[in-house]
Chain A
Amino acid sequence: MVLAMKRDQKSSLAWFAFALYICVETARKLPIGTWGDPGPGFWPLGAGLILGGLAALVFLKSLPGKFSGEKVPWYPLHTWKQIVAVLLALLLYAATMEFLGFLLGTFLLLIFLFRVAEPQRWTVALGASALISLAAYGLFEKWLRTQLPAGIWGF
């Protein structure tokens, strides 16, 4: 039988693991120093210990009900695919931005975003994407003099 954990139990375990990572990495790589003369590892170790202690407290506080058998997942049941798609598109955009260049990359990203949630008509998606990409390029590159990546095509 798969037991569903309470949200606080799941999250506190994740934070506890993160705190453990902080403490172990600090102890391995950084001089801690002493109370009177703290080294560069003192402050992160303190943060890790506090985080770990509090995460343990949240876990213990959530125990009285034991495993709740919660049926409702923490992520949206019907739209999680869209959300994952948007996040992946953003990561892909960041990864290819310097290769594709700002204008083309942004244009393609916008078309995808306009089509992924409540899909707009292709004419609207293409027109709005072109308009917004050009406007953003004009605003940031020309007016605010931000150096946006030109890509292999030089724009």
Chain B
Amino acid sequence: MAENAAACRDLGVLTMDFFANLSLAFSVIFQPNNLLFCFIGCLIGTLVGVLPGLGPPAAIALLLPSTLHMSPVAAIIMLGGIYYGAMYGGSTTSILVNIPGEAASVVTCLDGYQLARQGRAGPALGMSAFGSFFAGTVATLFIMMVAPPLARFALKFGPPEYFSLMFLGLTLVTSLGTGSLIKGLMMAAVGIFLGTIGTDIISGVERFTYGSYTLMDGLGFIPVIMGLFGIPEVLENLEGSLKREVYKTKISHIFPTLKDWGDSIWAMIRGSFLGFFIGILPGGGPMIASLAAYATEKRISKHPEKFGTGVIEGVAAPEAANNAASQGAFIPLLCLGVPGNATMAVLMGALLIYGIKPGPFLIDKHPDLFWGVIGSMYVGNLTLLVLNLPLIGLWVRFLKIPYAILYPLILVFTLVGSYSVNNSIYEVITMILFGVVGYVMKKFKYEGAPLILALVLSPLMENALRQSLILSHGSFDIFFTRPISLVLFVAALLSLASQMAPGFRKKLSKTEG
């Protein structure tokens, strides 16, 4: 009896907390300034998604310098909006041009483009937008429920736990990628090395600076990201024909029929759950979520042979999953201070530039920022639904801009963006050099994401390692005798071992292909 009463009381407190947090979230987002930047973020995000040649990490890195004069809350709201906005926009090119606007919409091409060829581009675009809206809203609700207890739990973390967690993040990024596991690990090692360039904060010794004042503060990660993600995309597009064929079809009936809803609703729900849980994994992310959701739907479908010929659930599931994952990915960053993918690594860099340390204390120390971001997700999803359905014609027009006109614009923005971080020509040169490296890496099938994540995590991991060893008087046992650290280490090793099991990676690449 007493236990029941206590449980009811706890539930009551949790419910009250939930509504108090919701009220705080809306009070922050409905400030005119924040609302405006949320809208701008969603607008730019959709544009980034629609236009091939600039993905969310490069776009966010590019716009980061322009946010230095804004309040951190408005800045993160805008940059976050670009990230999940790109997930909405990415499906438009997948469906109409058979070219994914960004990586997370690769599988949407399979059925989305076929639907467009059958004259059903409208319902495909509509279902994609509704699926994204549904998943985004569900994921935001989940974040509200999961984030506060997770942050409280993370208060128990010391340097060994953080080291193990970051190690897990790195192994998951490399092992969940669709490329070669060994190459992924190699890129993580390169990122770790690049992260050591600069002055060692413990000993004050300069590492690999060769007397350069610019390198003393370390390699700027914004030029590296823009170089690795922005320039290679442009160069690859220059290799082929610059003309894109937008499938000529009348876009009508964007509101799907009852049959479409019947076919898609469970795919959408499953995609939302799966996407969210993949998103919160360090190393997970929208691309893996969309691949997994598509594979799941195909596996459990009564007519798997029809997948790839234009079935609406083949659009609903991955689009729901990539949106849920993009929002779930905020959890490890905001609650644990560990970015789960390349875009979150850029956002982490942004937070650090604003003087805000992401992690378990963020919710208590900067409640306006945390709950403001949550509020912006609700408003942003609604904004994106409006932007993507009635205004679909506008985005199609953007698709018709010749790439020969577009690419100089993208290049100029990356050049100015990298310059304006520190008003330094060296950052521009760094960006161009990493652009060349990124282009060659793509040709030889090396992924950039593990490198970026390792670059951001490297100084944090090194610090955590050295602090842990100080705590343990030089014994590595500390990582294996503390339960949380041990569990995280075992999980990291299991993730690597599972990838070495035959068949697993083949399945992933098969789904993508």
B residues 227-262 with Cβ under 8 Å of A? 234-235, 238-240, 242
Docked pose: A142 CA to B207 CA in angstroms: 38
Q: Which residues of A contact B182 (CB under 8 A)?
A: 54, 57-58, 61
Q: Does B205 contact A (CB under 8 A)?
A: yes
Q: Does B117 contact A (CB under 8 A)?
A: no
Docked pose: A97 CA to B473 CA in angstroms: 52
Interface residues on B, range: 35 or more
- Cβ–Cβ contact A40 & B205, under 8 A: yes
From the candidates B69, B238, B402, B474, name the one contacting A86 in the complex (CB within 8 A).
Answer: B238
- Cβ–Cβ contact A94 & B429, under 8 A: yes
CB distance from B75 to the nearest CB of A (A): 12
Looking at B24-32, B77-85, B300-308, B417-425, the stretch in contact with chain A turns out to be B417-425
Docked pose: A18 CA to B446 CA in angstroms: 15
Q: Does B415 contact A (CB under 8 A)?
A: yes
Looking at A10, A54, A102, the one whose CB has the most chain B CB atoms below 10 A away is A54
- Cβ–Cβ contact A48 & B404, under 8 A: no
Per-residue 0/1 for A114-149: is the Cβ within 8 Å of any B Cβ (1 yes, 0 no)? 100110100000001100100010001000111111
Q: Does A25 contact B (CB under 8 A)?
A: yes
Q: Does B189 contact A (CB under 8 A)?
A: yes
CB distance from B477 to the nearest CB of A (A): 11
Docked pose: A7 CA to B234 CA in angstroms: 22
CB distance from B488 to the nearest CB of A (A): 19
Per-residue 0/1 for B417-461: is the Cβ within 8 Å of any A Cβ (1 yes, 0 no)? 001100101001100100110011001111000000000001000
- Cβ–Cβ contact B405 & A87, under 8 A: no
- Cβ–Cβ contact A15 & B186, under 8 A: yes
- Cβ–Cβ contact A144 & B69, under 8 A: yes
Chain B, interface SS category: helix
Q: Which residues of B contact A132 (CB under 8 A)?
A: 408-409, 412
Q: Which residues of B contact A18 (CB under 8 A)?
A: 190
Residue of A with least CB distance to B409:
A132
Given A40-B203, A54-B185, A86-B238, verify A93-B415 contact (CB < 8 Å).
Answer: yes
From the candidates B408, B446, B469, name the one contacting A114 in the complex (CB within 8 A).
Answer: B408
Looking at B10-18, B192-200, B274-282, B377-385, the stretch in contact with chain A turns out to be B192-200
Where the two chains meet, the residues of A that have a C-beta atom closer than 8 Å to any C-beta of B are 7-8, 10-11, 15, 18-19, 22, 25, 30-31, 34-41, 43-44, 46-48, 50-51, 54-55, 57-58, 61, 74-76, 79, 82-83, 86-87, 90-91, 93-95, 97-98, 102, 106, 109-110, 113-114, 117-118, 120, 128-129, 132, 136, 140, 144-149
Where the two chains meet, the residues of B that have a C-beta atom closer than 8 Å to any C-beta of A are 65-66, 69, 180, 182-183, 185-186, 189-190, 192-193, 196, 200, 202-203, 205, 207-208, 234-235, 238-240, 242, 402, 404-405, 407-409, 411-413, 415-416, 419-420, 423, 425, 428-429, 432, 435-436, 439-440, 443-446, 458, 462, 465-466, 469, 473-476
